[in-house]
């Protein structure tokens, strides 16, 4: 159920902690994951952790609807919910 090796989410977790978007409970759980890994969470904490990642990270592009890879989600949070392709196309359009 828990996968400590899957800390590719580490950047997203650190971003969320620093973003002031989390509730105190969510922040505490995400800090615990960074410190001790997912396996240190109870089932209830794990559910809060998964919900926070889902709630605060954009999974689908708001323009084209494509799934946004996890490594692009931080950028999507900052650019209004666009995938890298759509963000690039918008940048090109704006620079013309």
pLDDT digits (tens), the chain, 96 positions: 444 445 467 888 888 898 888 999 999 999 999 999 999 999 999 999 999 888 877 789 999 999 988 778 878 888 999 999 999 999 999 998
Predicted pLDDT at 54: 82
**Domain span holding position 87:** 60-96
How far apart, in whole angstroms, are the C-alpha atoms of residue 70 and residue 15? 13
Which are the contacts of 21, defined by CB distance < 8 A and separation ≥ 6? 56
Tracing tokens 């013309």 back to the chain, one arrives at 96
Domain count along the chain: 2
CA atoms within 13 A on the CB side of 77: 17
Same domain? For 46 and 69 the reply is: no
pTM of the model: 0.65
Q: Do 52 and 92 sit in the same domain of this protein? A: no
In whole angstroms, give the CA distance from residue 87 to residue 96.
Answer: 15
Check whether residue 43 and residue 2 sit in a common domain.
Answer: yes
Contacts of residue 17, defined as CB under 8 A and 6 or more positions apart, other chains included, come to 27, 30, 31, 34
Same structural domain, 8 and 20? yes
Instruction: Identify whether residues 26 and 50 lie together within a single domain.
Output: yes
Q: What is the pLDDT of residue 8?
A: 61
């Amino acid at each position: 159920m828990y996968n400590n090796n899957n800390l590719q989410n580490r950047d997203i977790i650190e971003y969320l902690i620093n973003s002031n978007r989390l509730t105190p409970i969510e922040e505490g759980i995400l800090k615990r994951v960074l410190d001790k890994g997912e396996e240190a969470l109870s089932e209830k904490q794990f559910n809060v952790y998964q919900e926070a990642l889902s709630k605060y990270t954009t999974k689908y592009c708001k323009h084209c609807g494509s799934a946004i890879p996890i490594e692009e989600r931080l950028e999507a949070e900052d650019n209004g919910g666009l995938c890298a392709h759509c963000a690039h196309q918008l940048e090109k359009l704006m620079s013309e």
